[in-house]
Structure 1
Amino acid sequence: MSRLPGADVPGDAVLEYLPLLPLPDFLARFFALCLAPAPLRASLGAQGGALTAMWLLMAIATMLPSAAPMIRTYCEIADTARIKREPAVHPLTLVAGYLSVWLVASAMFAALTFAIHAFASSGQMLDPLVGIAGAGALSIAGLYQFSRLKEVCLDKCRNPFSILFANWSARPIRILRLGMKQGLWCLGCCWALMLVMFAVGVMNVFWMALIGLFSLVEKQTAGNLPTRLAGAILLVWAAALLVVST
């Protein structure tokens, strides 16, 4: 992928190994906007829209792959219904409901980004948090991995068939709500992991990929070992960051 000259982006060491692709100038500038940790210079509404779009893109990149088994399960049930000549709502309706939850969550993460930026000393909105603030974000993410709510939400994400089958409907509005319900379970499972992005830099492509991979593995693995191990790593990381910052 081509980059703007002199752009210093999170995960730049990783991006350097990717093949260079000729892109139109407006696309190159769009990717630079998404990746560069520079402050946004625009009206408040434009900044909010851009940040919400960035968080939504990040959510799609990290969370939608882990929702693939749920979408595939719905498609299998819909195919069975069509074979029986029964009506079935298009899977994109389910996906739309799922993504609508993450759109609202993205707006909330954008608002949190604004709040943090208001108290940040670096003056750069997408810079990683350091010191106590970064340790706090990692601590919340780590502690949540051991919570009962995390366990309940993760169990729902791991077993979509029973929920989809029990709530099956030929009405689009009900399938849209079903997608929203699944999105809420996914949000309840993964919202704290998104806080890690504040500690490593918002839109850091390396950590986006890592969190997306972990979410996929976590939802496909039985037992709590990956979840608890990730929580322990985050807590140790938070403690280490706190020690070196004081």
Structure 2
Amino acid sequence: MDAPAGIARPARLRPGAARHRRVFLPLLVALVALAWVALWAWARSPYGRYLEHGDWLASGPAASLCRALPAGELLVPAMLYALAWILMTAAMMLPTTLPLFDVFDRMTARRPDHGRLLALLGLGYMAVWGVFGLLAHGLHELILALLARSPTLAWHGWLIGAATLALAGAFQFSRLKHRCLDKCRTPLGFVMAHWRGPAPARQAFALGAHHGLFCVGCCWALMLLMFAMGTGSLGWMLLLAALMAVEKNVPWGRRLSAPLGVALLGGAALLVVLHA
């Protein structure tokens, strides 16, 4: 049976799959290194404080906008945070989802709107991570408000870090983690199951968003570690990005979940021992 219009036959993907195995790891290293350099330069620029959210209202363009716009004290930090979060998630998650873009690129290569479909795929993927980032930002602000109102809780703030590490470690062993990880590790099957060709723009965006949901389901607990360690901590960002990329794309990556979970649980236990 012929493949639907605009979709290459699976057999044509095999040479590309071999090429992908040769190219992926060097490309992953290059992209992570580029993201590291860009974020390192940003962190040391006059606008480096925008990587964090506690200093946006102190001075500079953000403070001026907050004073000039209605509800600016709420809207401007949220917008700046969204931009910073999208950049960070793109730097961290793009290497983990390169196989999805690689498969979709080859499947739609004959279509005249090929470039637009790839852009919509990425837009749908990043939209899901953007929503997650706003929810995580709201949770973080709520915790900061609780710490500000409760001196006792602030004195024992290390408990929040230990709880975050323990949550991330325990989630590594959950059924949801492995179900979502399996979806992320089989991009060809995922695209074949969700891409039909009609209404291509809508389906490309929906495909990216659908894959983004599984990616969030797989990695949300690890991404929460960024809030415990500081969203401007570029070293931890690079380490987490590399771990998630290996877990999703390297043949033995699925076996990394359990040791990583044990390490995170051990870190939580160490924090308790040091502070108890």
**C-alpha distance in 2 between matches for 1:202 and 1:102:** 15
Distance 1:161 1:120, change over 3 A: same
Shift of 1:32: 3.7
What amino acid is aligned across from residue 95 of structure 2 in structure 1? Answer: P
1:234 aligns with 2:251: no
In the alignment, what sits opposite 2:55?
39
**Paired residue for 2:240?**
211
- Unaligned stretches of 5+ residues in structure 1: 1-17, 123-128
**What's the offset of the Cα at 1:55?**
2.3
220-229 vs 101-110, which moves further: 220-229
Q: Which residue of 2 aligns with 1:56?
A: 86
Which letter maps to 2:205?
Answer: L
Displacement, 1:217? Answer: 0.4
Contact 2:50–2:84 (8 Å) recurs in 1: no
Aligned twin of 1:13: none
1:108 paired with 2:135, answer yes
Larger RCO of the pair (alpha carbons < 8 Å, separation 6+): 1
State the identity as a percent: 33
Partner of 2:99: 69
Matched AA of 1:215: M
Q: Secondary structure at the match of 1:190?
A: helix
Give CA-to-partner distance per residue, 1:99-149, whole Å, 9 cap, x none.
110111111111112112112359xxxxxx941110011111110000000
Deviations 1:62-85 (A, max 9, x none): 111111111111101112xx1xx7
1:23-38 pair list within 5 angstroms: 28-34=45-51, 38=54
Matched position secondary structure for 2:46: helix
Secondary structure of 2:108's counterpart equals helix
Aligned counterpart in structure 1 of residue 174 of structure 2, from 122, 131, 147: 147
Alpha-carbon distance between aligned partners in 1 of 2:130 and 2:41, rounded to the nearest angstrom: 31
Q: Aligned AA for 1:141?
A: A
Mapped partners of 1:104, 1:163: distance in 2: 22
Aligned partners of 1:175 and 1:245: how far apart in 2?
Answer: 49
Shift of 1:172: 0.7
Judge conservation of contact 1:52–1:110 (CA < 8 Å) in 2. Answer: no
Aligned structure 1 segments of 4 or more residues deviating by more than 6 angstroms: none
Q: Note if 1:138 corresponds to 2:165.
A: yes
Correspondence for 2:211 among 170, 176, 182: 182
Q: Give the residue type in structure 1 aligned to 2:48.
A: F
Q: Higher helix proportion, which one?
A: 2
Which residue does the alignment assign to 1:193?
Answer: 222
Deviation at 1:175, TM superposition (A): 1.4
Distance 1:213 1:30 in 2: 26
Q: CA RMSD in A?
A: 2.7
**Which is greater in Rg?**
2
